[in-house]
Structure 1
Amino acid sequence: MYTEYEGIIFDMDGTLVDSGRLHQNAWTQALNQYQIPINFALMRSLAGVPTKETVDILVKHFDLNIQASSDEINEFKEAIVKETIHQYVKPTKLAEFARDNAGKRPMAVGTGAYTAEAKHILEICGLTELIDHLVGADQVKNPKPAPDTFLRCAELMKVKPEKCIVFEDAPAGMQAAKSAGMFVVDVLEVMQIKNDYFLE
């Protein structure tokens, strides 16, 4: 399966890991705490965008004047994620593909989550030993939808971007992969992996 590609890159949330409810719950509590409106379609469109950037987009979109910084809101949300993580996360069926390729081709996770949280989630799901490299949003200057995350994955794997395949579920991530010159698989369309995140 996809044997023509030398390096494999996975998005994490909604792709390699089923964590939609984890983030929906944390976001719902955080947005209610800071009186930011919740628009399901908008939140879903921002899947894959890091927390602080998402807050900035929401504040601008709703033309809000809030006292809290995006850092404070990020810390509030991440605290809820840490408290509830074991209740919600589990691997998707893409984990089988990762197991089949372990030790055969280099594999990386390129995520919009921050590195510490991503490491924790991969550990809980028993996926850490399968992944050679992890690139979180805090490791790059421009996170998704910019290509930096996936280009850094390719660099760490020592594989040319055009020889990489990316598995993604979110528009921001698919745009990032295409901008990086990589082949991208929409896991919903191809594998019926549906991210249960702010669904109507």
Structure 2
Amino acid sequence: MKGKFELIVFDLDGTLVDSDAVVMNAFNYALQPYGQKVDFVGLEKIRSRSPQEVFEGFVPKDEWKNAFGRLASYSEANLIGTPAFPGIKEILEKLRKKNVKIALWTGRDLESAKKILRANAIDGYFTCTVGGCMVSKNKPYPDGLSLVAEQLLVSPEKIIVVGDHVHDMEGTKKFGSLFVGASWSRPVGNNFDLGQTDFIFHTVDDFGVWLESVF
């Protein structure tokens, strides 16, 4: 497989950083003034929405900016609660030394994504970062991945995408790239369709070993 791929694109939450608890708490902090609360099932239903739509059905339409501001402020105040998974920085460093193009495609807004990358001292590894606010359709649509490919001038078949969620997989397959399931944040009970996942890894170490055969 060596020499076949030019670009590796990572998802952020659940793939590079362990953010499940902070994301859940941030949404509930944002919803608190409105007497609303969301659980993991509810969060799954709204996580791919745009910032303008993410609180639809939870807060009045003219209040979404206030709710989103609370979401952002909680997330920023708790950056220490979104650490990179052990071994991720070492993998990024190895890829950089091999001159592999590395990009980030996340469903969250660009500003908070950059803050999380900086907090973990891994922001310098990415030649392109695309957030959900930069495209008209967020994951599971491939618009964000398409923007990455356009900016870095790489065709779909030369791209590997690494993500922890079925939305990452669906967008990747629609775009025509290879998808790697990152199951180390949820080793049991992930919702990948194994028929569509090209590869799946339950530990960062196993993923790193596989990468050695690719780049």
Give the TM bin, normalised by the shorter chain. Answer: 0.7 to 0.9
1:67–1:183 CA distance, 2 compared to 1 (3 A): closer
Q: Does 1:131 align with 2:131?
A: no
Provide the rounded CA distance (Å) in 2 between the counterparts of 1:89 and 1:39. Answer: 19
Unaligned residue ranges in structure 1 (runs of 5+)? 195-200
Q: Distance in 2 between matches of 1:172 and 1:111?
A: 11
Root-mean-square deviation over aligned CA pairs: 2.4
Q: Does 1:90 align with 2:90?
A: no
Please say if residues 9 and 107 of structure 1, whose CA atoms lie closer than 8 Å, have aligned partners that are also in contact: yes
Distance (whole Å) between structure 2 residues aligned to residue 48 and residue 168 of structure 1: 14
Range with greater deviation from structure 2 (104-113 or 18-27): 18-27
Aligned length: 187
Whole-angstrom CA distance in 1 between matches of 2:46 and 2:89: 24
Task: Quote the offset at 1:16 in angstroms.
Answer: 1.1
CA–CA distance in 1 between the matches of 2:35 and 2:154? 45
Question: In structure 1, what is the equivalent of residue 147 of structure 2?
Answer: 152
Report whether the alignment pairs 1:164 with 2:174: no
Segment of structure 1 superposing worse, 28-37 or 10-19: 28-37
Q: Which has the higher contact order (CA 8 A, sep 6+)?
A: 1
TM-score, normalized by length of structure 1?
0.82
Matched-pair contact (CA < 8 Å) for 1:46–1:172: no
The answer as to whether partners of 1:47 and 1:172 remain within 8 angstroms in 2 is no
Q: Which runs of 5+ in 2 are unaligned?
A: 188-199, 205-215
Structure 1 residue matching 2:103: 3-state secondary structure:
strand
Alignment match, 1:184 = 179
Q: Is the 8 A contact 2:24 2:39 kept in 1?
A: no
Q: Give the C-alpha shift of residue 33 in structure 1.
A: 2.4
2:20 is the alignment partner of 1:20: yes
Mapped contact 2:164–2:181 kept (Cα < 8 A): yes
Identity of aligned residues (%): 25
Q: Is the 8 A contact 2:28 2:36 kept in 1?
A: no
CA–CA separation in structure 1 for the residues paired with 2:127 and 2:2: 19
